Structure 1
Amino acid sequence: LHGKLLKSEAIPFPAKLGSYTFLSWEQLIYTITIPLSTSIILANLVIILGIAWNRQLHNTPNYFFLSLLVADMCTGVALPFIALMGLNRELSFSSCLVAHVFPNFLFLAFLFNLVMVHYERFICIVDPLHYNTLWMHRSFPLTLLVVWVPPLLYACLPAFGWNNWTSPAWDGCCRAIFPNAFIYLEVYGLVLPAILTIAGMTSRVLWITRGQMKEICRLHRAVERGSQASDQEQRMNLRYTRCVAAVSLTFLACWAPYLIYMHVCIAFLMSDTKWSSTTHIVLSCTGIGSMAVVPLVLGLANKQYTEPASKLLQKLRDRWRWRMQESEGTAI
């Protein structure tokens, strides 16, 4: 995915691309990705340290989420290299593999972890009585193997021979590493089904929540013996509406840029049309960056994860105020 989707339209270096233009595109990539990558890494570290610091959070569900945070942090580290995949360069076979296979593995591992976390929370709400008997709770190491090993195996298929390196029509590193069939299989066999699964589980949870809220309102009216909605029911409806709006906007903000980027890349790949690498850089950076924000939204919404960081900031703020007051008293 990502840069390799543009292998048909990428411009070989240095045949069609001047060094100045290439360097300017590299600078654009670093200008966009470095702030995004830094923010993603730091935010994940804050949540990881929050889970590690609080012993009450040392349980299986949070271990799943911790694995997702590690994968998300690795995606943040690889973000600049993912964008660079769209700029074809004359590299050796081993260099091409490292530059393309490793970022792809991190992305797929992140996606598998994200599906696993959503599935675990989905089962917790849909079937809470059998929640603790799930196979993922009985064998946590097996779960880690499921979300990390298959992405690694699939990403390494080009290293096992599924590539175009021996093709006489060499057209850059991307074309040599990733065949069209590999790209289509990843997009429509792995990425899109995973995104649709996450969307389906989220919609199902919201629907169940709506049904439970209606039942609570019905019982409340039976107790109060009133036919009209009370202020408490109106507040519950308003809170649910805000929840649906927040979830919908978050999903659109995090996934829509990536879906647009992915389908635009597939369209140009199928039509074998060249397009601006500047457009590719902007779409790839914003698409991958917005997708990597999903775990951060889930983590920062939980006050237990951010409590240690909040306490540390409060201590630093109190110490700074105390020093300011002390310096003012000394000056007087």
Structure 2
Amino acid sequence: METLEGTELCFPQLLNTSCRKPMRPHFESMLIYILLSSISLLTVTLNLLVIISISHFRQLQTPTNILLLSLAVSDFFVGLLMFFQIILIDGCWFLGDLMCTLYQYLAYIITSASVGTMVLISVDRYVAICDPLHYSTKVTHKRVQVCVCLCWICSVIFQSMILKDILKQPGRYNSCFGECINFVTYIAGITDVIFSFIVPVNVIVVLYMRVFVVAVSQARAMRCHIATVTLQFSVKVTAKKSELKAARTLGVVVVVFLICLCPYYCVVLTGQDNLLNASSTASVICLFYFNSCLNPVIYAFFYPWFRKSINFIVTLKILQPHSCEANMQ
């Protein structure tokens, strides 16, 4: 009986202080491992392709793509961090308190930077669609680079304040060996929800709604003047159709963003348990991370240049001299 109990412990040699493993059917455990490993590998691969594409080809280094690059970098590291989440599926953490704290700290920073970059992307698209004449003067390479740097710096500072307790003393809230939990005070948790979710979501929704209104008004203008289209107006019609398509794409972005992030923050907002155990909330957190897998699909696969750059990378044309000057449009 003692041996049987030992098999249920994270550290069988520590009978009195070890955490116990949640018992799951073997098939269920294998299915979870395969699913999460596939998502993690796909997230890393897709975002790495975006990073290589934008970093290598000079034609792709536009202000908008710099934002996409920042998003891809954060999502790439989210994919790597998912491997640590896979370790926690069995409810046991074997890497020590310091690594547990580092994992949580990096996860908060990277996720916050990812959300911040999405806000910057929404601002970029708002200016491009609603004020196209002044876009080139308002959105420059230098300004975008400064905004990206500030986004990451603010994420580091903000999350350092949110997680200051566990940073001072890693593992201080663990009740047994093999546990990796994240304790956030109620005030810190609400602050994190406000500035990492509520405020960004509201900014994104407001900007995208404005884009949608502009696109709809232009679509109505096209229908009203369809009978008297001239060559000059046909160019405007094409531009308006492009803006309407962009509005639809942005609508998909908002929906997917909310679907992936809402469940996690809804759990936090309930305030029923500030002591969040990663194994007990694995499904919510994994859905939260899954957004990083979808981001390159939404932001990149909708662009022809990404498909062309993938072809260059897969066929190793990227290794040829002067390949960085290739036409990707």
Q: What is the TM-score with the length of structure 1 in the denominator?
A: 0.70
Alignment partner of 1:75 out of 65, 78, 90: 78
CA drift at 1:97: 2.5
Alignment partner of 1:199 is 2:202 = no
What CA deviation, in whole Å up to 9, does each residue of 1:195-245 have, x standing for no partner? Answer: 232222222212211111222222223459xxxxxxxx9xx99x95x8766
Match of 1:132 in 2: 136
In the aligned structure 1, how far is the partner of 2:181 from the partner of 2:277?
Answer: 16
In the aligned structure 1, how far is the partner of 2:154 from the partner of 2:301?
Answer: 29
What CA deviation, in whole Å up to 9, does each residue of 1:161-182 have, x standing for no partner? Answer: 587959997656535x532222
One-letter identity of the residue aligned with 1:18:
R
CA contact (8 A) 2:113 2:155 kept: yes
In the aligned structure 2, how far is the partner of 1:195 from the partner of 1:296?
Answer: 20
Match of 2:233 in 1: none
Label 1:213 to 1:80 Cα distance change in 2 as closer, same or farther (>3 A).
same
In the aligned structure 2, how far is the partner of 1:82 from the partner of 1:113?
Answer: 23
Label 1:116 to 1:274 Cα distance change in 2 as closer, same or farther (>3 A).
closer
Match of 2:289 in 1: 288
In the aligned structure 2, how far is the partner of 1:197 from the partner of 1:109?
Answer: 15
CA drift at 1:130: 2.5
CA contact (8 A) 1:91 1:173 kept: no
Q: Which has the higher helix share?
A: 1
What CA deviation, in whole Å up to 9, does each residue of 1:264-322 have, x standing for no partner? Answer: 3432xx23499997762122212320354124311111011220223566899xxxxxx
CA contact (8 A) 1:71 1:106 kept: yes
Match of 1:144 in 2: 148
Alignment partner of 1:211 is 2:211 = no
One-letter identity of the residue aligned with 1:41:
V
Equivalenced residue count is 290
SS of the equivalent of 1:271 reads: coil
Label 1:314 to 1:148 Cα distance change in 2 as closer, same or farther (>3 A).
closer
One-letter identity of the residue aligned with 2:20:
G
SS of the equivalent of 1:71 reads: helix
In the aligned structure 2, how far is the partner of 1:201 from the partner of 1:145?
Answer: 22
SS of the equivalent of 1:18 reads: coil
CA drift at 1:190: 2.3
Label 1:88 to 1:149 Cα distance change in 2 as closer, same or farther (>3 A).
farther
CA drift at 1:102: 1.4
Match of 1:45 in 2: 48
Match of 2:324 in 1: none
Alignment partner of 1:174 is 2:181 = yes
CA drift at 1:45: 2.0
CA drift at 1:106: 0.9
CA contact (8 A) 2:71 2:117 kept: yes
Label 1:81 to 1:188 Cα distance change in 2 as closer, same or farther (>3 A).
farther
Match of 2:326 in 1: none
Match of 1:101 in 2: 105
CA contact (8 A) 2:98 2:170 kept: no
In the aligned structure 1, how far is the partner of 2:74 from the partner of 2:65?
Answer: 14
Match of 1:264 in 2: 267
CA drift at 1:124: 1.4
CA contact (8 A) 2:78 2:111 kept: yes
One-letter identity of the residue aligned with 2:209:
S
CA drift at 1:105: 0.8
CA drift at 1:247: 5.0
One-letter identity of the residue aligned with 2:305:
Q
CA drift at 1:19: 3.6
CA drift at 1:153: 1.0
Label 1:30 to 1:149 Cα distance change in 2 as closer, same or farther (>3 A).
farther
CA contact (8 A) 1:53 1:308 kept: no
- Identical columns (%): 16
One-letter identity of the residue aligned with 1:179:
T
CA drift at 1:30: 3.9
CA contact (8 A) 2:208 2:247 kept: no
In the aligned structure 2, how far is the partner of 1:101 from the partner of 1:276?
Answer: 15
Alignment partner of 1:32 out of 17, 24, 35: 35
One-letter identity of the residue aligned with 1:302:
Y
Taking CA–CA contacts closer than 8 Å with sequence separation of 6 or more, which of the two structures ends up with the larger relative contact order?
1
Match of 2:320 in 1: none
Label 1:48 to 1:157 Cα distance change in 2 as closer, same or farther (>3 A).
same
| Counterparts of residues 77-92 of structure 1 (less than 5 Å) | 77-81=80-84
| Counterparts of residues 211-230 of structure 1 (less than 5 Å) | 211-223=217-229
Q: CA RMSD in A?
A: 4.2
SS of the equivalent of 2:181 reads: helix
CA drift at 1:148: 0.7
CA contact (8 A) 2:46 2:296 kept: no
In the aligned structure 2, how far is the partner of 1:289 from the partner of 1:72?
Answer: 9
Match of 1:321 in 2: none
Match of 2:322 in 1: none
